[in-house]
Structure 1
């Protein structure tokens, strides 16, 4: 889920200050300021809010106090245990209690998906509406995500000519970059330095979810059709997936340069190219996505293995893992069995209060008795989740308020916040201090009202807000009790009685 971003910003010691888009002009400064540097930054902020292309969130990082020795130890552990982190043993012993390395990796891949939302052009009056605001070469740099250590190798596009209209953003302008395409994600590869840390060269695919409201759930065609109908080379014709997901993945428009080839063809072509580019290296393929993008992640990961594109020229099998966030069910129980039988590892991160992971198949699904699943597995309405579930609960976070808004429960940044504090089942929620809680309110109003999140960098600067126990608060101000004689003197100069 992603909706236009509100103004939220933080100035953190050791990091840059970032601006966020708003539908309203920036408010005036709280005090008169003669500092030229401040005035220059304020002008830039005011201009940014008036641009046709929205200024998007870059990245707000918490300060990290890890020593160099600790960082080196983390690198050593990750390179040593990456196969377990990526599900070699179906994450046995890694989820309860929550393994810190797994948590860190999940958040890292979640940031890759969030980058799709933060760089997407939502402005219906822009001729580039529905595209990415940045080039592949500058995507991570523009979003402040160079610390990920990946380089984008290809952008992915899907045609809007499908029966899930609310999944796409349509421009109003008559002069547009494309009437048929929407930017839907990207393929990236870890650089040499990051590959050394990871213990292998990682090829990652990130899919975005819906960019409008959750109405796409109601738009689901909600019936299954065989993957073979889309020319996916499955030997079992009874393996079926939800038809709307399959359309997003396989439809194309030959008259459009961006979706002349389907999203499926774009992914498979890039995978062939990258497998040939790194013939003698240890490789992994990681696919991640949120919401409807999580369904595309499962579908594309399965397709890569079914098509044999995770095989190297010398016969080695490259492991394929899916980290999905808030993903709906994708196919029937035969699809589940086929995916898992091919060795695709899927870890589904869900919020128990989020309704999206409960659809489609709210009646006939994997929770039914075994005998009923066998009786109904050929019906076009019987669905089954794939892989291992990691269940989170927004009610366990003391930083989030009580709400009935389904958008809050489905918000990706809220998911990443819950991951940051999740320690295991029935264990106390405790933030790992790697993620700023202000990010939760980037596209929602989910934080507790008493948690003061500065609406912009200049308010934080003028009010002198500081981060204390994970919250943005104003510093304590002197009171009459603190400095009675000094305060009384000032009040006398103003002609005020000390009791007024």
Structure 2
């Protein structure tokens, strides 16, 4: 029988051994050593490539860091240079304001300052407009609040709570009016059975510039800011729309033909002796505080600036007239303190004789209006300053013949590329929109370009006026959780506010 595997038979010391060959023959020793060397070389080459790549990546990373640092340094330098330029420009503006504040406040009736728009005047108009806007931002409109109709903040922290400390003013007095008059859409009332007051509403404040700001402005500035209507325009329909002599409300005017819309007079002069906050009329509160402040700074240069929006603009004009008519702006040494008004979207206030008397007394009024705003066209829709003068004089005895006062600065919201095309009249009347238009206005027919980089988002604070692609939600301003907080029991409640300031007595009369 054949043996299937090859067999090698050898004789060794008398023994027989059978050897089977290996399945894989062992390589020659020299070939094995060469492959091992090549393997080591390959490992070294791979390691070198890895190291080279790591070093390259590290160098690129370091280079990118250096580049980013250089970019950041350049940006920081640019920001520092921009801040320095802005500070230099601000310092120059401050020096110019201190030197030319009388012109800014209408000494020459703003001739040559409106077209083209004077940048300092624009800056000051926006600043006083923001002081009027503060009346809205500080007012409690919520009927579910027990403090509805009051100011949300303590007088001493008013500008601080609104983020306006850089303004450099201190509120010296709050102004209240009785709500028992025929303007229900202007006054707000709470639904709570127990409220801070059933007869009063907070309608503005008196503020005075601090020492540092007074140096910057070139005088001590007394500012009166009046609240108006933030969105609703129904108050126009509540006006009695007839003229009444100002002398009938104890304003010492020698001419009985000087007349003012009766609803405005009511807000300004009415009071409720049983109410802690409107025991004295708004008029008495204003005159008392202005006199006190003038006496407090007897040897300083002073100015009285009054601002307001909407119905507040009408009250601003009326109070400015009253201050000068009563001679309250005269100091003990015989100097006359300049009185001027920066009004925003204000209605007509009185008749032609009121206009003539006010301007004859030297009160300067600059009215900022949106040409599409209906509020500025009332009262006196048919008989007003636009009819021929002879016809206006003939109709002057009628109870519905009105005239605007002062100088008008007309703006058009359709010139702003930021605002949407809308037919909502409350947008045309919105104060923040007016301040936006001021920021971009350079003169009639000139391109709309923002000058002070004022945040356009403010337009939508209490409106829906910005174009949608700016991605600013409408009506975005509100208190966190609408003012509700958790008490010690974990329940959501309205917090108690600090005790309202005692209302200062009016001792003018």
Same topology, TM > 0.5: yes
Identify which of 421, 424, 434 aligns with 1:415.
434
Task: Check whether the contact 1:168–1:210 (CA below 8 A) recurs between aligned residues.
Answer: no
Could you tell me whether the CA contact under 8 Å between 2:230 and 2:430 is conserved in 1?
Answer: no
Give runs of aligned pairs for residues 10-409 of structure 1, distance below 5 A.
66-211=85-230, 213-409=232-428
TM-score by length of 1: 0.78
Alpha-carbon RMSD across the aligned residues, in angstroms, is 1.4
Distance of 1:212 and 1:454 partners within structure 2: 17
Q: 1:371 offset after TM fit, Å?
A: 1.2
The residue number in structure 1 matching 2:498 is: none
Post-superposition CA distance 1:107-155 (Å, at most 9, x none): 0000001111011111112111100010111000000001111000000
C-alpha separation in 2, matches of 1:454 and 1:364: 41
> 1:76-117 CA distances to partner (integer Å, 9 max, x unpaired)?
100000000000000001000000000000000000011110
1:376 and 1:90 map into 2 onto residues whose CA distance is 28
Q: Cα gap change, 1:65/1:369 in structure 2, threshold over 3 Å: closer, same or farther?
A: farther
Q: Deviations over 1:246-270 (max 9, x none)?
A: 0000000000000000000000000
Asked whether the equivalents of residues 460 and 473 of structure 2 are also in contact (C-alpha less than 8 Å), the reply is no
Residue 437 of structure 1 is matched in structure 2 by 456
Equivalent position SS for 1:366: coil
SS in 1 for 2:469: coil
- DSSP-derived class of the 2:454 partner: coil
Contact conserved, 1:352 with 1:391, CA < 8 A, in 2?
Answer: yes
* Whole-Å separation in 1 of the counterparts to 2:311 and 2:275: 23
Would the alpha carbon gap of residues 353 and 368 (structure 1) be closer, same or farther in structure 2, given more than 3 Å must change?
A: same
Q: Which residues of 2 match residues 452-471 of structure 1 at below 5 A?
A: 452-453=471-472
Q: Deviations over 1:272-331 (max 9, x none)?
A: 100100000000000000000000000000000001010000000000000000000000
- The answer (yes or no) to whether the contact 1:168–1:212 under 8 Å persists in 2 is no
Partner SS state of residue 185, structure 2: helix
Q: How many residues align?
A: 395
> What CA distance in whole angstroms lies between the structure 2 residues aligned with 1:66 and 1:177?
49
> d(CA) in 1 for partners of 2:422 and 2:230?
21
What's the counterpart of residue 473 of structure 1? Answer: none
Q: Deviations over 1:382-430 (max 9, x none)?
A: 0000000000000000000000000000000000000000001111110
Q: Tell me, in whole angstroms, the C-alpha distance in 2 between the residues paired with 1:279 and 1:270.
A: 15
Q: Which has the higher contact order (CA 8 A, sep 6+)?
A: 1
Aligned with 2:452: secondary structure?
coil
* Greater C-alpha Rg: 2
**8 A contact 1:64–1:433 mirrored in 2:** no
Unaligned runs of 5+ in 1: 1-62, 458-500
Query: Distance between the aligned counterparts of 1:212 and 1:409, measured in 2?
Result: 10
**5+ residue gaps in structure 2?**
1-81, 478-509
Match of 2:470 in 1: 451
**How far apart in 2 are the matches of 1:332 and 1:70?**
43
Aligned to 1:41: none
Cα deviation, 1:40-59, whole Å, max 9, x if unaligned, reads xxxxxxxxxxxxxxxxxxxx
User: SS at 2:359's partner residue?
Assistant: helix
Whole-Å separation in 1 of the counterparts to 2:83 and 2:425: 32
Tell me if structure 2 keeps the 8 A contact 1:151–1:191.
Answer: yes
Distance 1:289 1:64 in 2: 32
Q: Tell me how far apart the structure 2 counterparts of residues 253 and 114 of structure 1 sit (CA, whole Å).
A: 27
Change (3 A) 1:204 1:198: same
